[in-house]
Amino acid sequence: MCGIAGKIYLQSGEINERDLALMSDKIAHRGPDDQGIYISPDKKVGLVHRRLAIIDLTASGHQPMSYLNKYWITFNGEVYNFKEERKKLEKYGYNFRSESDTEVILALYDKWGVRCVEYLRGMFAFAIYDMQKQTVFLARDRVGKKPLKYFFSPKVFAFASELKALLTLPEIKAEPDIDILETYLAYGYVPAPQTGFKNIYKLEPGHYLTLDLKHKTLNKHCYWEIDFTKKLDLGENEWKTKILQTLEESTRLRMISDVPIGAFLSGGVDSSSIVAMMTKLSTKPVKTFTIGFSESQYDESKYAQIVSDIFHTEHTVLQVKPGSVDILPELAEQFEEPFADSSALVTYLVSRLAKQYVTVILNGDGGDENFSGYSHHLKLWRDYLLSPLAKYFPVGKYLKSLHSGVLEKYLEYKTHFDFEGPKDVYRNAYQNAKAIDIRDKILTADFKYYLPDDLLTKVDLASMKVALECRSPLLDYKMVELAAQIPFDLKVKNGKTKYIFKKSLEDILPKEILHRPKMGFSIPLAKWFSQELNSYARSILLDKKSHINNIYPKNKIAQMLDKHSEKNDFGPQLWKLLMLELWWKKYF
């Protein structure tokens, strides 16, 4: 796990080491163990690397790394199947001088060109400079665990793991993209390829870029996307076997490490399943970490303790209080785009806690997306069943809403500000989905936008702020592809979410964990905005110098703050506005 960056001149100009050093400094937190800079002989290409040493702790893993005197790479992530691919490459005659996965990527690129990404099982973002072809090849993993942001103009191309590194370059000016802010307010994040900054973009998951230095062209290609059309007709027992086999394999691969390893444990089904598998595969007690709240409806620590007791983990709990919001300006800077997932706060705090004990952490991210575990997935299932009946029941708010269609109803679940334009983000994903079932079509948008641009962004930027590597077994692409083959009616069944996944775990986890109420991983916004957070938000949002007034009326903000209570909850809307203002103050 590392930080990467680079700058390429397409016209006149020469790379200077100072520019690269400034970029490196801005992502130093991602890789405190080592740093490296490469400048091509013609001084047109500069690559930067910051290293967090996880595998092959020796100097042989230093980057940027060269290969065959033809290629240079800067790589962020982990390729879990690199030993398997290395053996195959050795049969083709390839030789290796290190034990790193980075060198395997280079050999795969030499053998297969841009198709090398098809052979990589893991999380990654990398750039390969091909000296002979005079191209730069940049790629991002299938589901978007590792970030890659870039800037392209006739004069210069630049990229980085974090956008803040790009803003150090004299050619790049920080300008807000006003047109995308309604979309942010609707969803709480900025969907790719936009970032909230003009002329700075993020590469979508499952895509790669090819930069041709001779012709000064940049092309983008999609090499993978989720496909719900390949359903399998299997019995429940067959599905249970396949799910458990894939889960065990994906967990085992993510336990490969030369540094201490642990797990986030909420006591929910997903994180508990990972801890169960880690315990099965480990000869030592697993170190687990969780967050606790004084508010009982948000506190999952008692469930985490149950799981810890069952699997005899070395467990640590951190209690979070409203005063923790003092770090919000720091988080707004780290998240660098407008970002309003309130669980980013607790993700950062638990990452900071875990870093005191381990360098690698496993989590349960992806279980809800794969197996339909969110409350709105249950509502989607109900709407789907009831929608044919809606025309016969013209009265009644709930049934009336079904007339607008299942997709439009789903959009109501997903947004807090009712802007019409941003809804096209999900509508377009729905229309272009590789799916037959309308419910799978809608879930495609969660995989395309919510998962990478909210959930995975949150985990990457919060954990890498403290140089902690997060791994997600449930987001192994083979698990994602397997889950996409499961009929929706086995995911949500008899009014229960994650039906087949929970059935798979019946012999592993107790009923009180499998069938406990879902609480979600978030902070008590309703209560906090009724207490200390309300006055904090007033001082920021209602200040005469606040920028938010250019986007959203101050009188409406004041009304929400005045009327807010735990029963009359404006917490999600106020949090989005607050984080937007903090972002604006930091970057403009």
Q: Please list the active-site residues.
A: 2
Q: Return d(Cα 293, Cα 579) in angstroms, integer.
A: 22
Contacts by 511-520, CB closer than 8 A, 24 or more apart: 512/303, 512/306, 513/267, 513/268, 513/269, 513/272, 513/303, 513/306, 513/307, 514/269, 516/267, 516/268, 516/303, 518/268, 518/373, 518/374, 518/375, 519/268, 519/297, 519/298, 519/300, 520/343
**∠288-375-185 over CA atoms, to 5°?**
95
- In contact, 46 and 54? CB cutoff 8 Å: no
Measuring CA to CA, which residue among 317, 297, 298, 295 is closest to residue 306?
317
Tokens 């909850």 correspond to 569
- In contact, 363 and 459? CB cutoff 8 Å: yes
Q: Return d(Cα 356, Cα 469) in angstroms, integer.
A: 13
Q: Would you tell me the crossing angle of helices 438-445 and 406-414 to the nearest 10 degrees?
A: 30
Q: Is 28 helix (H, G, I), strand (E, B) or coil?
A: helix
Q: Return d(Cα 423, Cα 417) in angstroms, integer.
A: 11
- In contact, 1 and 27? CB cutoff 8 Å: no
Residue 299 is encoded by which pair of tokens?
């506190």
Q: Return d(Cα 503, Cα 236) in angstroms, integer.
A: 8
Q: CB count, 10 Å around CB of 257?
A: 15
Terminal-residue alpha carbon distance, the chain: 30
- In contact, 286 and 279? CB cutoff 8 Å: yes
Q: CB count, 10 Å around CB of 40?
A: 17
Q: What share of the chain is helix, strand, coil (3-state, %, to 5)?
A: 45, 20, 35
Cα of 6 vs its chain's centroid, Å? 22
- In contact, 7 and 78? CB cutoff 8 Å: no
